[in-house]
Amino acid sequence: MADKERLQQIDRWAAYCKAEPEKAKKAVNGLVDAQIDIANRFYQRLRKTPEGRKTYEKLLKLRMERSGKGK
Amino acid sequence: MERGVSDLNILEKFALEFTHIVEQYGRYIIVSGFVAIVHGRSRATEDIDMILERISKEKFVQLHAHLEKEGFECIQGENPVMLYDEYLAQNTPLRYIRKGMPLPDMEIKLAKDKLDELQLQERTKLPMTNLPFWFSSIETNIAFKEEYLKSPKDLEDARHLRVLYEGILNEEQINRWKVLIKKVRL
């Protein structure tokens, strides 16, 4: 999506959030829950094998390294 | 009126349980991406950023024990003295998750400078969210995103907040924060 269209979409969505907060909230809840559920299920599967556990540990380490960066 | 627990998403429930404990030990604020998400920004995140007033090591040991008792764990380790000395005291955040659930996590750091302390002093609840958390003000969040963080994601968050708070925003406050950020952090 071109930058201009992307910004227009942000403005449209923000205006919708303002006009229809309950409907917007429901949509965002679905997105947030799905994202976290999917990621957690992936990590659970990953940790089932010794190799996967190692990968999982590496991913956790990466997350720790990102802590506080730029905030 | 605040939302019922059934109306909350996973991030908000996690934050509610976590802040319920933290607020017994010190003043906190939630900042950055979560602020935009609770205002309807439709984007993903894996963490919530929290600034906690600069509590003592002794107090942190108690807080850590309380969090563990309630089912949270710190991914950097279990020893609270080490966590305080090697992370918090060095201004490196800690990450807490629900035991066995890698996501979401609470990234918690102690106030490290005048800017963090000022945000804590000026902390506010945000009625538009119907949530009981303490936040840094919308003006502060916008200033940090536009002046300091500046990633495309942060600039889009700021734009979203600007549309939502159009006509209410205090531009003088935003500019005041931008000046302070330049002075203290840049």
Q: According to the model, what pLDDT value does residue B100 have? A: 86
Confidence of residue A68 (pLDDT cuts 50, 70, 90): low
User: Per-residue pLDDT tens for A19-65?
Assistant: 999 999 999 999 999 999 988 998 899 999 999 999 998 888 888 87
Q: Are B141 and B159 in contact (CB under 8 A)?
A: no
> What is the dihedral sign for C-alpha B134, B136, B142, B146?
negative
Buried residues in B140-174 as b, exposed as e (16+ CB within 10 A): bbbbbbbbbbeeebbebbbbbbbbbbeeebeeebb
d(CA B97, CA B182): 33
**How much is the pLDDT for B186?**
86
- Report the Cα–Cα distance between both ends of chain B, in Å, rounded: 40
The answer to whether residue B6 scores a pLDDT higher than 80 is no
Question: Is B72's pLDDT higher than 90?
Answer: yes
pLDDT at residue A4 in the model: 86
Contact residues, chain A, for B7 at CB < 8 Å: 25, 29
**Average of per-residue pLDDT values in chain B:** 94
Instruction: Determine which of A10, A11, A58, A59 to mutate to test the interface with B (most B C-beta atoms within 10 Å).
Output: A10
The pLDDT value given to residue B3: 65
Tens digits of residue pLDDT in B77-135: 999 999 999 999 999 999 999 998 999 999 999 999 999 999 999 999 999 999 999 99
Minimal Cα–Cα distance from A8 to chain B, Å? 10
Domain regions of chain A by residue span: 21-71
Burial B107-129 (b: 16+ CB within 10 A, else e): bbbbbeeebbebbbeebeebebb
pLDDT score, position A3: 83
Nearest CA in chain B to A30: B9
Report the C-alpha gap between B104 and B46 in whole angstroms: 5
Task: Tell me if B40 and A64 make a contact (CB, 8 A cut-off).
Answer: no
Q: How confident is the model over B18-28, as a mean pLDDT?
A: 98
Contact predicate B91/B110, CB 8 Å: yes
**CB-CB neighbors (< 8 A) of A11 in chain B:** 159, 163
Residue A15 scores a pLDDT above 70: yes
Could you give the count of Cα atoms lying within 13 Å of B70 in the half-sphere of its Cβ?
A: 16
Comparing C-alpha atoms, which of B59, B160, B180, B173 is closest to residue B117? B180
Q: What pLDDT sits at residue B5?
A: 64
Answer yes or no: do A28 and B46 touch at CB < 8 A.
no
Give the start-to-end residue ranges of the domains of chain B.
5-184
Which pLDDT does position B1 carry in this prediction? Answer: 52
Q: Determine the pLDDT at residue B156.
A: 94
Which residue among A24, A31, A40 places its CB closest to the CB of B103? A40
The answer as to CATH 3.20.20.80 being correct for domain B5-184 is: no
CB–CB of A25 and B7 under 8 A?
yes
